[in-house]
Amino acid sequence: VDVAVIGGGPAGSTAARLLADWGHSVAIITRPPPRPALAESLPPSSLRLLEYLGWRPLVDAAGFIRSTGNTYIWDSREADTGLAMRQATFGGMERGYQLDRAVFNDLLLAEAVRHGARLIDHATVVSVNAGVVAYRQSDGDHTVWARWVLDCSGRAGVVARLGWRRPLPRLRTLAIAAVWEHADGWPHIDPTHTVVESHRDGWAWSIPTSPTQRHVTMMLDPRLTSIATRQALREAYLGALDATPGMRGLTEGARLTGDPFARDASPYAAHQVAAPNLLLVGDAASFVDPLSSYGVKKALASAWLAAVVAHTCLEDARMLRHALAFYDARERAMFESLERQRAQLAHAALAGDARSAFWEERAEADALALASPNEDREIESLRGDREVLAAFEELKRRERIVLRHAATVERVEQPLVRGNRIVLETHLRSPQLPFAVRFARQVDLLRLWHLAPSAAEVPELYEAYQRVAGVVPLPDFLGALSLLIGKGFLVFA
Ligand SMILES: Cc1cc2nc3c(=O)[nH]c(=O)nc-3n(C[C@H](O)[C@H](O)[C@H](O)COP(=O)(O)OP(=O)(O)OC[C@H]3O[C@@H](n4cnc5c(N)ncnc54)[C@H](O)[C@@H]3O)c2cc1C
């Protein structure tokens, strides 16, 4: 086949469906995920991505509970003293999804097959060697030969574990989940909300899967909790429930429908996620603490880009080096930004209880992740840059602008995504920035740079830009123009 996809989770199904749609022969080799399935929350910010990937009608039709927000208890002492939980409603009419992961997985996988991917199910991949994927089924061992292999096997990391994975031992986390049934529903909270509560030695969350059923999950540090037996697991769960008064209150009058079950939720990263004809995708590449609620979204985004990379290289092998470097940088950037968000949430929890070793360790972001260069982050941080702000003030002050191209600007070819291909396109480089730029927010800096000298006023330039490049919000346009001036791409004549 053109592409062997190992694992039929959200990442695997997404990559397989896209590649099949783009005309490639694809095999998904997968085994059933662990049962019972978790309940997971998808934030409203995932909607656009689901839409873009073509998953939205399917997910909408599945009838998942649509969440209207989150309820936080970031300091459990509040619940002790009877203070109300804090409710945060999503902005506008936004709604997230409360997923039963078993249903979600099955939907996506079936659709990938409907789009032409070949499913090799109940198969465990045991090795990958130069495109030969060996797997085991009940009737024996088999192989598939593939031009590209995508490791979408999640935490199992069939390829990822062969020296690519970088554990983050100080963030080890064990999730113990259980399903609760309350015949009358959940009287004190918004029934659609995810409820999140921190305590000194961990945190807990609860996600509804029906009006009467909720998963209530305890996140613990496995170094501090022994779970050698089923009984010990149950005791650890009930002990943690006891330490979270909000969750305890939530489950009062409810019935535990089965034994608590455990999942490793420890974060990890990777030294490298791309090699010739091989990519680590989704959780196989990295895992961010579930506190961020972005695991599935990250897996979908990663799968889309992996499909674009494989498609590009299958069509034009000369793009290999650029495509791999692009994928590696993007995956790193995504992990890094989620890692920083996670550390900020841990900071908030630490503020609630300053004596907590659990939160203190988690309040620091992964040092290696933060040390790596990240163009997206740099561009975002330019919004507060002194020279860019000075340029913005100057633009406001001047009635007329006469701009010319700075003589020191260089044009360089660098990769970006156009449709379903990675292509080399012109970027601009200035001695005042350590990286070349092409887009800032939605603004095409190259086009703006070309047009700028021909306009005499900012409104005229804004109109001229939109005529050729399409509508962009005025603040983004002004930010982009200020960047070009502040960082020496354009100078006032
Ligand atoms: C406790 C917990 C709570 C979470 N909560 C949320 C949440 O609320 N929101 C959110 O967005 N994310 C959440 N996540 C993260 C989310 O589950 C993952 O990010 C997401 O499942 C990643 O998708 P994936 O396709 O990369 O991997 P997976 O979903 O793990 O899929 C991997 C697939 O590969 C298969 N596989 C594994 N090994 C092999 C093998 N050797 N051969 C063949 N097949 C194999 C597996 O059976 C599985 O089907 C949570 C995770 C945990 C642990």
Among residues 158, 215, 223, which one has the least CA distance to residue 182?
Answer: 215
The reported pLDDT for the residue numbered 286 is: 96
Burial 427-458 (b: 16+ CB within 10 A, else e): bbbbeebeebbbebeebbbbbbbebbeebeeb
Residue 278 CB neighbour total at 10 angstroms:
19
Q: Which residue has the tokens 């429908």?
A: 257
Among residues 110, 121, 118, which one has the least CA distance to residue 4?
Answer: 118
Structure tokens at 227: 């779970």
The reported pLDDT for the residue numbered 74 is: 62
Q: How far is the CA of 153 from the centre of ligand 1 (A)?
A: 8
Structure tokens at 221: 């540090």
Pocket test for ligand 1, best of 283, 289, 291 (most atoms within 8 A of CB): 283
What tens digit of pLDDT does each residue of 282-341 get? 999 999 888 878 999 999 999 999 999 999 999 999 999 999 999 999 999 889 888 888
For the chain, list residues with pLDDT below 50.
Answer: 76, 82-83
Q: How far is the CA of 11 from the centre of ligand 1 (A)?
A: 8
Residue 257 CB neighbour total at 10 angstroms:
11
Q: What is the CA radius of gyration of the chain?
A: 25
Cis peptide before 167 (omega within 30 of 0): no
Give strand pairing partners of 125. Answer: 135
The reported pLDDT for the residue numbered 369 is: 54
Structure tokens at 68: 């209207």
Length of the chain equals 493
Phi, psi angle pair for 253, to nearest 5°:
80, -5
The reported pLDDT for the residue numbered 83 is: 43
Decide if 186 contacts 341 (C-beta within 8 A).
no
Distance CA(173)–CA(484), nearest Å, equals: 44
Pocket test for ligand 1, best of 38, 109, 338 (most atoms within 8 A of CB): 38
Question: Which residue minimizes the CA distance to atom 20 of ligand 1?
Answer: 296
Q: How far is the CA of 154 from the centre of ligand 1 (A)?
A: 5
Position 308, amino acid: V
Atom of ligand 1 nearest to the CA of 125: 42
Q: How many CA atoms lie within 13 A of 131 on its CB side?
A: 9
- Please tell me whether residue 373 adopts helix, strand or coil conformation: coil
Among residues 340, 274, 269, which one has the least CA distance to residue 305?
Answer: 274
- Please tell me whether residue 70 adopts helix, strand or coil conformation: strand
